[in-house]
Structure 1
Amino acid sequence: MAADALRILGTLSVLLALLLHGLTDAAIVAFALPGLMLPRFIGMRPCADFAVSVTLLVAAWSNVYDLYTRIGWWDVMVHFVCAGALAVVAYLFLAHRGVVAPPVARGFSAAGAVVLTTAFGLALGALWEMVEWIGHAYLTDRIYVTLDDTIGDMAAGGFGALVAGVYLAYGPRLIMPSALPARESSETTSRS
């Protein structure tokens, strides 16, 4: 229920950002909405769902309040945490769709999960940096873009995805067995 409340808060946040800060900031907050919905759709455990939702809302509102430029270490920390969270969501989405083996299923490779999760984090980081560049070049010069910032953000995100991949592979299950494809959920063992 707490994660669902955050999804409602995220939706209301778009309207609040629009009313108080303008269209650009509302669009930035709206960019988080798919990420808020996906953990519920793929059946992530409530604590993991809540953690992803908090991470995305903090990342979005940090942009609105310019925390990335006001607090020196904030940008790197948010890229580390957010890329890790989204990379795990990407892996679990593919597991939910039967594309990759979910954790604890026959055919699951811990090393493969770490490599894929890291690659997802790097890819998502590259996409985000492209969106920032497009926003800076075509929408507003308020979006902070430099080569050092871009490379630092991608490195932090890649490292965050690597750490998250290790957690996905060796930590407690982040997805409920009932959310897995039928053939996979019957092959899994429970591990908390």
Structure 2
Amino acid sequence: MTALLLAVRWAGPLSVLLTALVYDAAGAAVMMLVCLGVTVAWRARPPAALELGTDLVLLLAAWSSVLLLYERLTWWDLVVHFAATAVLAELGFRALERWGGLSAARAVSHVLVVCALGAALALLWEYAEFVGNATVDPRVQVGYRDTLGDLAAGTAGALTAGAVGAAARNRAGPARGGSGDRGVRADGRGQR
């Protein structure tokens, strides 16, 4: 799994170079956002499966933009909003927990916090789409129907991620502190 994670981590910077050389500066800028997300995922040290899933979903979302899949497949935008918000909300929860913003949460609290984080991320993303449409590229989809669909898909993704994350932590059991994290004690601090 470590070699796969390293390969996917390096796919971000390589995607920046590829889009800058083959496509355009806007595509390279989107890929730089992916690099930021990949770096945050790496530094948050979530379970390996969550880090890998986050990195792959972010790459998929960015390449979908560069390859104009959102314009070609009308339903694809909702799928990506669901998946991206899911992994980012769960990652946000794990990062807050690791960096001391949360104590070990019960399953219901886990689901509610992840869902709230996801709804907030979905809202921020819609603001970014609006600004992107107005200042960068008018092809960025905005409008009442698109915005509400994206918010609904993102919130549903976060709710799903919260439920899956809580279930995964419960399966990990108290022997690992219920965290399932690599090298993290039950109190959320890294082992030395």
TM-score norm. by structure 1 comes to 0.86
Question: Following TM superposition, by how much is the alpha carbon of 1:183 offset from its aligned partner in structure 2, in angstroms?
Answer: 3.6
- Letter of the structure 2 residue corresponding to residue 144 of structure 1: Q
User: Which residue matches 1:52?
Assistant: 54
User: Which residue matches 1:176?
Assistant: 181
Q: 1:175 & 1:23 partners in 2: Cα distance? A: 39
User: Which residue matches 1:132?
Assistant: 129
- Letter of the structure 2 residue corresponding to residue 129 of structure 1: E
Q: 2:144 & 2:38 partners in 1: Cα distance? A: 29
Uncovered stretches (5+) of structure 1, i.e. residues with no partner: 103-107, 187-192
User: Which residue matches 1:190?
Assistant: none
1:159 correspondence with 2:164: no
Percent identity, aligned pairs only, is 33
Structure 1 residue ranges, 4+ long, deviating more than 4 angstroms after superposition: 172-175
Taking a change above 3 Å as real, the CA distance of residues 115 and 90 of structure 1, as seen in their structure-2 partners, is same
- Letter of the structure 2 residue corresponding to residue 163 of structure 1: T
Residues 1-192 of structure 1 correspond to what in structure 2 (within 5 A)?
A: 1-102=3-104, 108-172=105-169, 175-176=180-181, 178-180=183-185, 183-184=187-188
**Pairwise CA RMSD:** 1.9
Aligned length: 180
Which piece of structure 1 moves more, 117-126 or 165-174? 165-174
TM-score norm. by structure 2 comes to 0.86
CA shift digits 1:74-106 (9 cap, x unpaired): 11111111100000000000011111124xxxx
Q: Is the 8 A contact 2:98 2:189 kept in 1?
A: no
CA shift digits 1:7-44 (9 cap, x unpaired): 11111101211122211111112111121122221222
Taking a change above 3 Å as real, the CA distance of residues 58 and 184 of structure 1, as seen in their structure-2 partners, is closer
Q: 1:163 & 1:136 partners in 2: Cα distance? A: 29
Q: Highest relative contact order (Cα 8 Å, sep 6+), 1 or 2?
A: 1
Question: Following TM superposition, by how much is the alpha carbon of 1:177 offset from its aligned partner in structure 2, in angstroms?
Answer: 5.1
